Structure 1
Amino acid sequence: MTRIAVAGGGIGGLAAALHLLQAGFDVQVYEQAPRIGEVGAGIQISPNAARLLIRLGLKSALDRAGVRPQAVHQKRWDDGRTLQRAPLGAAVEETFGAPYYHVHRGDLVELLAAALPPERLHLSHRLVDVAETGGRVTAQFENGASAEADLLVGADGIHSRVRHILFGAEKPRFTGCVAWRGLVPAERVRHLGIEVASHNWMGPDGHVVHYWVGAGRFMNVVCVTEHGAWTDESWTQKGRVDEALARYEGWHPMVRGLIEAFPETFVWALHDRLPLPRWSEGRITLLGDACHPMLPFMAQGAAQSIEDGATLAAVLTAMQGDVPAALARYEALRKPRATRLQEASSANRIRFHLPDGPAQEQRDAALAASGDRSMANIGWLYAHDAGQGT
């Protein structure tokens, strides 16, 4: 039986482990933190990822923890005028065969971890080195432990140690964008009457996204603005609510009301990265943010990491455990799609932040005329089945 070590116990690593285990492989997950958890707030699980999680038997857990939005509602920054309102809910589920969920990151990590047999999850294992000899990969950990496997998957995030070992230090590019996030208890914003949808307010040099998470107990809010001075990429740095509010002077009262309701806010700088030339070396490969980090403007970061794990399990099965052949196929299948989404996310950064003027008017007219979220336009993303391995 092929033995697989997964470095990283976040969304991508845990989902990959479940897909690989379901396919019959011997999988062990090594997470550097002393407990399973996820910083951050909300994420969007579109049908391309939801169908994969449902196959893992997680539908009931997702229904309990998540929220099913009825639409994507894109609006103008100052007067709240609708630029486009595209259906989600039943329409998307009927068209693509799987629901659309909004979920708190922590809830998703917990339900993934609960589905994994506890003996396969090893906490407080910080990877320090990886070596491949004689058709085996050996991982060394800071606590003195080591693990041997036929394949090692680096699912260790945007600051991946595995990627650093394989390909050297990277050079992230600061986009100039800074984001504030807040998780607002429902009772603080109940009076605003916010529909169960994904809301995107587009304005000059910034945009604001918000939606319900935690089974409707919280409103997840992310405010992105250009020309920020903050350069730290960490998600855990505390920010100041008054600074966030000042950036959105003149914006619609609902936007300002959401920011004013923040119990606290965290601030981070958005960095972009060039696509890697390749993801694999010998019997070592990368997954999720470790190989294709993307700006959050397509809401696909977590979904694409879930897709990675499903495809990896499918190609390993098809190649009957021939690891080098499977990794070549995995990369050939996944890299073009992930790169397309990296590029689309970067393009949305510009599109969402247009100043009022001719380009903004052209964008708004295009949204009203056909819409980038129509079923026909979004089908390439939502209809994809990464578990087919073809």
Structure 2
Amino acid sequence: MALSALPAITSSRIEPEPRKGSTPAIVTSIKRASYPTRSLQFLRKLEGKSPGACSNVESVRNDRKLQLQVTVVGAGIGGLATSIALAREGHAVTVLEQASALAEVGAGIQIPPNSSKLLLKWGLGPLFEGKAVEPRGITFRRWETGNAIGYTRLIPDFRSSFEAPYYVIHRAHLHEALHETAVKLGVTVKLNSRVTEYNEMVPSIKMQDGAILKSDLIVAADGVKSAARKLILGKDNKDPIRTGFAVYRSTIDVQKMKDDPETATLLREPALNVWIGPQRHVMSYTIAAGKSFNLVLSHVDDTDPATWRPEDSLDNMRAQFEGWDPVLTKIIAMIDKTIKWPLLSGDPSIPSWISQSGKVIMLGDAAHAMVPYMSQGAAMAVEDGAALAAALSHVHTISDLPKALSVFDIVRRRRAGQMQEASLVNGKIWHFDDGPEQAARDEAMEPETKGLPISESPNQWTDPVTQAWAYGYSAEDDIHSSWNQFKSRLF
């Protein structure tokens, strides 16, 4: 990617030139994409057009580094992952969490190889034992019949191709593993610590009790409602916006499904199943070592969340999927509790994740909220932490800090922005009404169900180019190679 000259600002940011032909934050057309993929070729073939190509970069390590005092705001997945990555590099890290206890809302979460490789490297493997599930594959199913229309084999393909497994796990179990690992590495995690004010020039944080905490760097990992984002972006602040999608999240005791021969067939082996249809889809898989069945039921919804009534959620959810695959609707009937969530996506056009002083940054959902249709939201936050630690390994003196963060900023905005786009593209591919586009999609995915060689697919988990870009990516290597690419313009 070509880069413009360094602007004359304190943080020494590197700014990318706008990508010609890039898609907007909310995808309105899926006939092209800015990230490497061949998942849209089935549509472009209808117009007689050909896809683009992608390229890879080599990594170069730098072992010299300055140890910093870092304050991380937010003890969610992104904040704890960042604290682990930094603590492993010798930095002194304090994590501030406003809640009185650590708890993750939600149920299942996916850990694809681009993040599982990092988590295993950081020592979380033993903490996943008896909790994480490694599915054998992902079956995409027609909405009204449940017939397989696409398939991604995960075992052994993903381990052999990307040197790491594809896991699914309960969000709380991942959170517990991150917290335990962070504490073992010497990270200080402070609860009941609400931040009321930032001073980006010191930098420092003022707490609700009046205490002032100073450090070399402040990392805002405080989620979609980030208080630091306005400080960082100023007049350019753009909060995540509603995408017009909403999801119901639910879990079912696996034993309920085992008692019915039809639903029990989905439990023969660990697997993900995705029913896709007009304006809706359902993602399902087992978690908690196979004891719980997780469902995410997505649908198009432009209504105001303020009007949603929790007591109506079950009936509304069942009505959304009336007439779908009888096996699926039988499973949905077993759900006795659900939570409805609006889906938000950040605007990848925001100019920076770094404050003008170069001493406060944001990452995770604070910087790049995304719909879960590539199952990469948490993975991007883990990548952020690894990338930040890699960038700081190039800091020899405190004056180098803004330069390293500038590389982090350009690398991570590019990567996360493209993943936001890929996620929204799936929201289009999966939700076609029955018709020519749906038929072309299903025909293009059919070879997967027969085990035939694949050169392209609307299924982005299988599409070879998208797959390599999404799951074969190394956040650390991207930072190191980008540092070598940009450093001549930083000094």
TM tier, smaller: over 0.9
Alignment equivalent of 2:253, drawn from 171, 181, 185: 185
Check whether the contact 2:284–2:293 (CA below 8 A) recurs between aligned residues: yes
Partner of 1:346: 424
SS at the partner of 2:339? strand
- The structural deviation recorded for 1:90 is 2.2
Partner of 2:488: none
Provide the TM-score with structure 1 as the length reference: 0.94
Alignment equivalent of 1:210, drawn from 281, 284, 288: 284
Partner of 1:355: 433
Check whether the contact 2:112–2:167 (CA below 8 A) recurs between aligned residues: yes
Give the distance between the partners of 2:306 and 2:276, measured in 1 at CA.
24
Partner of 1:367: 445
Q: Which has the higher strand share?
A: 1
Write the mapping of 1:75-224 to structure 2, written as runs, cut at 5 A.
75-117=141-183, 120-133=188-201, 136-168=202-234, 170-190=238-258, 191=260, 192-193=263-264, 194=266, 195-224=269-298
Cα deviations across residues 115-159 of structure 1 (Å, max 9, x unaligned)? 1227600001112211123xx310112232321110000111111
Cα deviations across residues 143-180 of structure 1 (Å, max 9, x unaligned)? 32321110000111111111123225534432222211
Bigger RCO (CA 8 Å, 6+ sep): 2
Write the mapping of 1:58-73 to structure 2, written as runs, cut at 5 A.
58-73=124-139
SS at the partner of 1:39? coil
Give the distance between the partners of 2:125 and 2:182, measured in 1 at CA.
15
Check whether the contact 1:3–1:26 (CA below 8 A) recurs between aligned residues: yes
Partner of 1:387: 476
Give the distance between the partners of 1:274 and 1:125, measured in 2 at CA.
29
The answer to whether the aligner puts 1:260 opposite 2:333 as a matched pair is yes
Number of residues paired by the alignment? 387
Write the mapping of 1:246-325 to structure 2, written as runs, cut at 5 A.
246-275=319-348, 276-281=350-355, 282-320=358-396, 322-325=400-403
- CA 68–119 in structure 1, closer or farther in 2 if over 3 Å, else same: closer
Where structure 2 has 5 or more consecutive residues not aligned to the other structure, the ranges are 1-66, 448-453, 481-491
Check whether the contact 1:42–1:103 (CA below 8 A) recurs between aligned residues: yes
Where structure 1 has 5 or more consecutive residues not aligned to the other structure, the ranges are none
Could you tell me which amino acid in structure 2 is paired with residue 363 of structure 1?
R
Give the distance between the partners of 1:122 and 1:171, measured in 2 at CA.
27
Cα deviations across residues 336-389 of structure 1 (Å, max 9, x unaligned)? 111111111111111111110011111112222443333723011111111333
Partner of 2:9: none
- CA 114–152 in structure 1, closer or farther in 2 if over 3 Å, else same: same
Partner of 1:329: 407
The answer to whether the aligner puts 1:53 opposite 2:119 as a matched pair is yes
Displaced runs of 4 or more, over 6 A: none
- CA 238–147 in structure 1, closer or farther in 2 if over 3 Å, else same: farther
- CA 337–147 in structure 1, closer or farther in 2 if over 3 Å, else same: same
Could you tell me which amino acid in structure 2 is paired with residue 45 of structure 1?
I
The answer to whether the aligner puts 1:226 opposite 2:300 as a matched pair is yes
Could you tell me which amino acid in structure 1 is paired with residue 464 of structure 2?
A
- The structural deviation recorded for 1:319 is 2.5
The more displaced of 263-272 and 169-178 is: 169-178
Check whether the contact 2:141–2:273 (CA below 8 A) recurs between aligned residues: yes
Cα deviations across residues 253-272 of structure 1 (Å, max 9, x unaligned)? 22212221113000112233
Give the distance between the partners of 1:11 and 1:340, measured in 2 at CA.
21
Give the distance between the partners of 1:81 and 1:345, measured in 2 at CA.
24
- CA 239–7 in structure 1, closer or farther in 2 if over 3 Å, else same: farther
SS at the partner of 1:254? helix
Could you tell me which amino acid in structure 1 is paired with residue 286 of structure 2?
W
Check whether the contact 1:241–1:259 (CA below 8 A) recurs between aligned residues: no
Check whether the contact 1:66–1:214 (CA below 8 A) recurs between aligned residues: yes
- The structural deviation recorded for 1:230 is 4.6
Residue identity (%):
34
- CA 325–77 in structure 1, closer or farther in 2 if over 3 Å, else same: same
The more displaced of 179-188 and 316-325 is: 316-325
- CA 270–95 in structure 1, closer or farther in 2 if over 3 Å, else same: same
Give the distance between the partners of 2:157 and 2:240, measured in 1 at CA.
39
Give the distance between the partners of 2:368 and 2:316, measured in 1 at CA.
31
- The structural deviation recorded for 1:239 is 5.3
The more displaced of 18-27 and 156-165 is: 156-165
Partner of 1:4: 70
The more displaced of 225-234 and 192-201 is: 225-234
Give the distance between the partners of 1:94 and 1:163, measured in 2 at CA.
39
- The structural deviation recorded for 1:64 is 2.5
SS at the partner of 1:310? helix
Max Rg structure: 2
Q: Cα RMSD between the aligned structures?
A: 1.9
Check whether the contact 1:180–1:268 (CA below 8 A) recurs between aligned residues: yes
Cα deviations across residues 188-216 of structure 1 (Å, max 9, x unaligned)? 22231214212111011100001111111
